[in-house]
Amino acid sequence: MQAEAIFTGTELLLGQIINTNAAFLSQELAKAGISIFRQVVVGDNLERIKEAIQEAGKRADLIIVCGGLGPTEDDLTREALAGALGLPLEENPSAREHIIRFFSLRDRPMPPQNLKQALFPRGAIPLDNPLGTAPGIFLEHNGKLYACLPGPPSEFRVMLTEKLLPLLQQYSTSKEIIFSRVLKITGLGESAVEEKIQDLLKGTNPTLATLASPGEIHLRITAKAKDTEAALDLIKPLEKEIRQRLKEHIFGSDGDTLEGVVGNLLTLKGLTLAVAESCTGGLLAHRLTNIPGSSAYFHQGIVAYNNKVKLQLLGVTTEILASRGAVSEEVALAMARGVRGLAGTDIGIGITGIAGPGGGTPAKPVGLVYLAIDYQGTTQVRRELFQGLREEIKWRATQSALDMLWRLLKG
């Protein structure tokens, strides 16, 4: 099956948002063995959207339109699809139900124009939207498949993977799929990783590519084969080789996150955790609590932004603050011990540093961060000097803390 995608939104053409849906769509279609040959971006203009749909319909078997399903004036995808195919728009009772329920559940009055979202080209099937009022549209017309999905990334992703792709299974005839396995690496830089796998980057099937993201390196192994199983057979030997070379730095694969992997290890070992953050300002607790079920092992976070907090709650002494300063190995250690004692957990983590842009000195520049872990009384501390903007330094500091914790837990 050959697909083309149309993304609507003047904000895309003005460059005010980046089209992340395009990359996600392509990845998911590839996994499903659906080739996508063209992506088009057009503004919120009825004629241009219609024209784009008609053109795509001449070439592709599957035409996916992303965005323009909202209730507002410049949400025109419904009208454009109906117009492009010469079909009337008709109200769908169950979709109308869904919209009315959405508002009543929230004790909010429903603006009348929201009912526009219950209109569908004749013959179309509504795709329920679990996250919003805009249902998707699925339509088979003259041997072509047309699908419209809402533009907000969270809605687009869940509706693509949970509603549209399952529906497409029964239509797909593809004999070859593209499958990728991503290995995720922490605690090594991109060039250090590449040095170890240089010779493996030349392959064609599977291919190997390195992708750097802040504090992590991802290695993507991609294979073409008749099905996932066959693709995995191509991927496994290369994966095995890479795992041998980078063993102690690979924390997970594919959808894994460092906070998720750490969470699994804490659950497995029945250990509990508390954190005391200064420069990271709650980001470490936020990342840990993004994991469903984290309340089982994560008990408490203290954001000790003011030194008073370090003294009152965490047992940091005025002597240490005076002699070593708030950004020091000693304070990081005291915070780790302090929060562990306060929360009565197995593990305590302390982070103190200078996120900037202000507050740096020649001796203690912006980006200097001390991280400490107290694991049942045994402590370790790490000193880091990060580059970048405030938020990047916060992120890299939490990444380093999770890296320390991961290495500790995997033993």
Residues 166-225 that bind its own copies (CB under 8 A): 178, 180, 182, 189-192, 194-195, 198, 201, 209-212, 214, 220, 222
Q: How many of the other CB atoms lie within 10 Å of CB of 81? A: 27
Q: Least distance to its own copies from the beta carbon of 332, Å? A: 17
Chain positions 28 to 47 lying near its own copies, rule: CB under 8 A, are 28, 30, 36-45
Q: Kindly give, in sequence order, each residue whose CB lies less than 8 Å from that of residue 88, ignoring residues fewer than 6 positions away.
A: 82, 121, 122
Continuous segment of H or E residues that includes residue 80: helix 77-85
Name the 3-class secondary structure at 327: coil
Contact flag: residue 101 with its own copies (CB under 8 A): no
Chain positions 120 to 149 lying near its own copies, rule: CB under 8 A, are 130-132
Which residue, 55 or 230, is less far from its own copies as judged by CB? 55
Read off the tokens for 305: 């932004």
Of 292, 175, 190, 180, the closest CA to residue 239 belongs to: 180
Chain positions 300 to 329 lying near its own copies, rule: CB under 8 A, are 300-306, 308-309, 313
Contact flag: residue 108 with its own copies (CB under 8 A): yes
Read off the tokens for 242: 């890479």
Contact flag: residue 391 with its own copies (CB under 8 A): yes
Among 187, 203, 360, 388, binds its own copies (CB under 8 A): 388
Q: Taking phi first (over 0 means left), then psi (-120 to 50 degrees means alpha), and beta for anything else, what does residue 356 get?
A: left
Q: Least distance to its own copies from the beta carbon of 123, Å? A: 27
Q: How many of the other CB atoms lie within 10 Å of CB of 135? A: 27
Torsion of CA 244, 250, 256, 260, to 10 degrees: 130
Contact segment (CB under 8 A) with its own copies among 60-68, 137-145, 352-360, 370-378 equals: 352-360
Contact flag: residue 71 with its own copies (CB under 8 A): yes
Site string for its own copies, 261-290 (x = CB under 8 A): ----------------x--xxxxxxx-xxx
Contact flag: residue 15 with its own copies (CB under 8 A): yes
